[in-house]
Amino acid sequence: MKLIVGLGNPEEKYKLNRHNVGFTLLERLAEEIGLNFKNNSKINGLVAKGDSFVLLKPLTYMNRSGDAVSKALSFYKIDVENLVVVHDDVDLKFGETKSKVGQAPAGHNGVEDIIEKLGTKEFQRVRVGVGRSTHREGVESYVLSDFTEDVLKTLRDVSLGKLIKD
């Protein structure tokens, strides 16, 4: 069994933010395979369960994602090596993805919190490029700003389906 976690912030005002690309892609994956997210208050997250995987959108906000991830691993009795975390990355071109096991957080606070709570970085991370601002705004302002409709349409080409088949 795999735990596939999309990182994001739960409030409606964050729904279209670049920082919420993990939520966005998990929602699309669930929709494609006919699953619905349900609140699981024991782990403080929204969960969609398949036969061989669990999709999780933590409700703990980005910077405290480790709480929900840790609880979900325990609740579903999933080993950390079967954890996949999907999150935004400003160092990758928009729509580009990279996947690797054992990476340092590279300044991503949500990933840093997961590593801290689990005591290991030995899990798979799927980094999804959101690009870097061409304006002088800071990284935080940029990732908390919304995607445009055109950009959201191109996110449809990013597929997570292979994650549940591996």
By annotation, the residues acting in catalysis are 19
- Cα 88 from Cα 93, distance rounded (Å): 11
Residue for token pair 């302002």:
141
Closest CA to 160 of 43, 39, 57: 57
Q: Tokens standing for 145?
A: 């700003």
Residue for token pair 């739960």:
10
Helix (H, G, I), strand (E, B) or coil at 96: coil
